Amino acid sequence: MNSLYSFVTCAALLSINPAVAHVSHDHSIVNQIPLGYVKYPYQATYPGDNEVTADSVFSGITTFARLPWVQCLSKQSEETFDIAFIGAPFDTGTSYRPGARFGPSGIRAGSRRLTLYGGYNVPLEVNPFKSGLKIVDCGDIPVTPYDNAFAIKQIENGHKSLLQRPAFSPLGNDSVTGEPLVPISKDGKHHPRIITLGGDHTVVLPILRSIYSAYGAISVIHFDSHLDTWKPSVFGGSPSDQAAINHGTYFYWASQEGLIANGSSIHGAIRTTLSGPADYLNDDDSGFQRIEAREIDTLGVAGIIKKVRDVVGDKPVYLSIDIDSIDPAFAPATGTPETGGWSTRELRAIIRGLDGLHIVSADIVEVAPAYDTNAELTTMAAADLLFEVMSVMAKTPLGKVAVRAV
């Protein structure tokens, strides 16, 4: 796996500007040690490696990966950060099993052990918790369970309020040329990155509206067993305007609104049955390319990574992970399970293969803990996927070297 992975990473990096791929952050700016939170409520009595091993990860108040909790969405808060976790506990756009409103709390519970040994990611050779970035858990966006239109607006406003703050750390300089980096956003500002804990997949429509405010139409990498570009008449029958916006149609609406970059967006792990072959034509129109779940048998993990990277290149990209991209054997607790999916190991490797891409924000959705096993398989898988996402983010700043006029 190691040699295969190195090959993929090297080959893939060649296809993007090597100057922007790996830039170290300025460690003198902030030496954030969220691991200090691990010591709550007791100080370690027998120091281990960095004093992290002595504490009980099963005690204390649960935040994502035991990161510091900040009330980012209070009226007074002007808290800044580089990466913020935020919950979107909305599940009234679900067609089959409801329960993803408990996703944020479930994923946080599944993430408790992420910092047990300190959080160093061996294959990616980075510790996101000690990368110099300020990473916080902002809690949940208040979401009404009684009115979908209102809830969707709440999610957009909550997300935008975080995204539109200045990032805590400066972009720094390019590690190769030493030249200052400039933001890759459309509005020219250096935005923080938001990682949303869903929630059913409908939440991605308001999130993409928020992302548009900073980046314009965005390339999307979407791991899911379903297309989610269905026309409302096909998915749900559209008995009302509000019913037309649900977890199978939100990408259709996002595409109609011009939020998705046409031609540089891609689905992975697709394996749902269809209303007919025309669903794929409709999906083409929405701007997506597709990787079927079964292609893992022919292309392997490396081939799937290559397909994704070829489509996205070095463009700003939004990453949306439906937990049902993983096989229900590994992640049973989800809204619309489909057998024949990828393993947790395979999807983790595929996400690590996104190393070097400009992932501007991300989510994991459709985790419905009530259907999990007692062993918390699904919430652990979700947390570990996000550990790979934050590791990839920590390695690549959202900047590029300015092109000078000659």
Ligand X SMILES: *[C@@H]1O[C@H](CO)[C@@H](O)[C@H](O)[C@H]1NC(C)=O
The binding site comprises 201, 224, 226, 228, 322, 324
Instruction: Candidates 56-64, 129-137, 205-213, 283-291: pick the segment binding ligand X (CB under 6 A).
Output: 283-291
Of 11, 26, 96, 147, which lies in the binding site for ligand X, with binding defined by CB under 6 A? 26
- Name 267's bridge partners: 222, 290
CB 135 within 8 A of CB 129: yes
Residue with tokens 């007791």: 42
Query: Could you give the angle at which helices 103-110 and 377-395 cross, rounded to 10 degrees?
Result: 80
Residue 254, classed as helix, strand or coil, is helix
Of 77, 164, 238, 262, which lies in the binding site for ligand X, with binding defined by CB under 6 A? 262
Query: Cis omega (within 30 of 0) on the bond before 199?
Result: yes
Instruction: Candidates 87-95, 217-225, 244-252, 281-289: pick the segment binding ligand X (CB under 6 A).
Output: 281-289
Q: Give the residue numbers of the binding site for Mn(2+).
A: 201, 224, 226, 228, 322, 324
User: For residue 89, how many C-alpha atoms fall within 13 Å in the half-sphere facing its CB?
Assistant: 18
DSSP label at residue 179: P
CA distances from 187 to 1, 204, 208, 215, 263 (A): 40, 21, 15, 7, 22
Minimum CB separation of residue 245 from ligand X in Å reads 17
- Residue placing its CB nearer to ligand X in the complex, 38 or 245: 245
Contacts of 278 by beta carbon, 8 Å cutoff, 6+ apart? none
Q: How far apart are the first and last CA of the chain?
A: 45
Instruction: Candidates 210-218, 221-229, 255-263, 290-298: pick the segment binding ligand X (CB under 6 A).
Output: 255-263
- Residue placing its CB nearer to ligand X in the complex, 18 or 180: 180
Q: Residue 255, interface with ligand X (CB under 6 A)?
A: yes
Minimum CB separation of residue 299 from ligand X in Å reads 24
- Residue placing its CB nearer to ligand X in the complex, 36 or 180: 180
Within 209-303, strands assigned E span 219-223, 265-270, 288-292
Minimum CB separation of residue 94 from ligand X in Å reads 26
Minimum CB separation of residue 183 from ligand X in Å reads 15
Residues that bind ligand X (rule: CB under 6 A) add up to a total of 10
Instruction: Candidates 1-9, 80-88, 152-160, 282-290: pick the segment binding ligand X (CB under 6 A).
Output: 282-290
Q: Residue 169, interface with ligand X (CB under 6 A)?
A: no
Minimum CB separation of residue 285 from ligand X in Å reads 5
- Residue placing its CB nearer to ligand X in the complex, 89 or 397: 397
- Name 270's bridge partners: 292
Sign of the CA dihedral 195, 199, 204, 205?
negative
- Residue placing its CB nearer to ligand X in the complex, 34 or 287: 287
Minimum CB separation of residue 26 from ligand X in Å reads 5
Minimum CB separation of residue 172 from ligand X in Å reads 6
Q: What gap in Å lies between CA 135 and CA 193, rounded to an integer? A: 9
Reading the block at residue 52, the tokens are: 């992290």
Minimum CB separation of residue 311 from ligand X in Å reads 13
Helix (H) or strand (E) holding 284: helix 278-285
Q: Residue 285, interface with ligand X (CB under 6 A)?
A: yes
Exposure pattern of 48-60 as b/e (b: 16+ CB <10 Å)?
A: eeebbeebebeeb
- Residue placing its CB nearer to ligand X in the complex, 174 or 324: 174
Minimum CB separation of residue 104 from ligand X in Å reads 31
Residue with tokens 């619309």: 336
- Residue placing its CB nearer to ligand X in the complex, 68 or 172: 172
CB 228 within 8 A of CB 248: yes
Site for ligand X in 174-203 (CB under 6 A): 180
Of 236, 287, 335, 341, which lies in the binding site for ligand X, with binding defined by CB under 6 A? 287
Contacts of 21 by beta carbon, 8 Å cutoff, 6+ apart? 13, 356, 396
Site for ligand X in 95-154 (CB under 6 A): none
**Binding stretches for ligand X (CB under 6 A):** 26, 172-173, 180, 255, 262-263, 285-287
